[in-house]
Chains A and B, each alone.
Chain A
Amino acid sequence: MFLLTESPINTLELVNSLAEASVGGLVSFEGRVRDHNAGRAVEALEYEVYPELALSEGNVIINEAKAKFPIVSATAIHRHGLLNLQDIAISIVVVASHRDAAFEACRYIIDEVKQRVPIWKREHYRAGSKEWVDCPGCRVHRRERQESVVTT
């Protein structure tokens, strides 16, 4: 299930809602607001969402994860509105009989959400300005960074 909220996210509640007797591995991921990006000091993030399309695309991703990996269940919840440092922007919990599938499915879900779900963030800088993180280079830059991590 993919959900949206404007309220603070409680990952423990999500974990408890998914735990069941057949589960041997539970993987939880939180994406949090950090205080810097690309060398600039960040003091808050604002997330905007296209709700109907974000929910449908997010649920497509969850269903893809269920089809690709032998997991029992997966839930992701993304917050929108104004978030402060260390607030949870997204929480993903995957439960499976075994750990490998849970890790892989969780990684798949966060990577696909970041590439496909219509949610945008605007960084509020400590220096006072704000900018949408939707520059055409962002996806390219991210990919280059990932590749440089793999090759070094």
Chain B
Amino acid sequence: MSSPQISIKIRYFASLRDARGLATEQRAIPAVNAMDLYRELQEAYGFRLDPSEVRVAINGHFTPMETRLCHGDELAFIPPVSGG
């Protein structure tokens, strides 16, 4: 039996935005965790960063990559930062 689909908003920054070619998208996905979603996106769009090198923020808060995603979540994968 396939997993139920949920709809989430994804925001992309820096090298991930360039690789995806979008700053934001609404995406229907199976109810998986952030790590699984990152791996799927990585395969689809050729993200060069390994999942161990990115962090995830869900609804504006840093969250473990194992967090299960919920319908309506807004999510961003955070590449290694380089401000300052």
Asked whether A85 is an interface residue with its Cβ less than 8 Å from the other chain, the reply is: no
Question: Which residues of chain A have C-beta atoms less than 8 A from B49's C-beta?
Answer: 134, 136
A residues in contact with B78, CB < 8 Å: 50, 53, 118
Taking the complex as formed, is A119 at the interface, i.e. its CB lies under 8 A from any CB of chain B?
yes
> Which A residues from 102 to 149 make CB contacts under 8 A with B?
110, 113-122, 132-136, 138-139
Interface size bucket, A side?
A: 20 to 34
Distance A22 CA – B57 CA, assembled complex (angstroms):
39
Q: Could you jot down 25 A-B contacts, CB within 8 Å?
A: A31-B84, A49-B83, A50-B76, A53-B60, A54-B83, A56-B60, A56-B61, A78-B84, A89-B84, A90-B83, A117-B81, A118-B76, A118-B78, A118-B83, A119-B84, A120-B15, A120-B82, A132-B14, A132-B79, A132-B82, A134-B81, A135-B80, A136-B50, A138-B82, A139-B80
Q: Which of B13, B15, B83 contacts A113 (CB 8 A)?
A: B83
Q: From A76, which residue of chain B is reached at the shortest CB distance?
A: B84
CA distance A136 to B57 in the complex (A): 18
Within the complex, which residue of B18, B53, B57, B82 is in contact with A50, where a contact is CB–CB below 8 Å?
Answer: B57
Which residues of B have CB within 8 Å of A132?
Answer: 14-15, 18, 79, 82
CB-contact partner of A114 in B57, B62, B79, B83, under 8 A: B83
Interface residue? B9 (CB, 8 A): no
Number of chain B residues close to chain A: CB under 8 A:
21
Determine how close the nearest CB of chain A comes to the CB of B30; give it in whole angstroms.
Answer: 26
Known: A48-B13, A50-B13, A120-B14. A136 touches B80 (CB 8 A): yes
Q: In the complex where A50-B13, A50-B76 touch, is A120 in contact with B60 (Cβ < 8 A)?
A: no
From A52, which residue of chain B is reached at the shortest CB distance? B60
Contacts of A134 in B (CB 8 A): 14-15, 49, 79-82
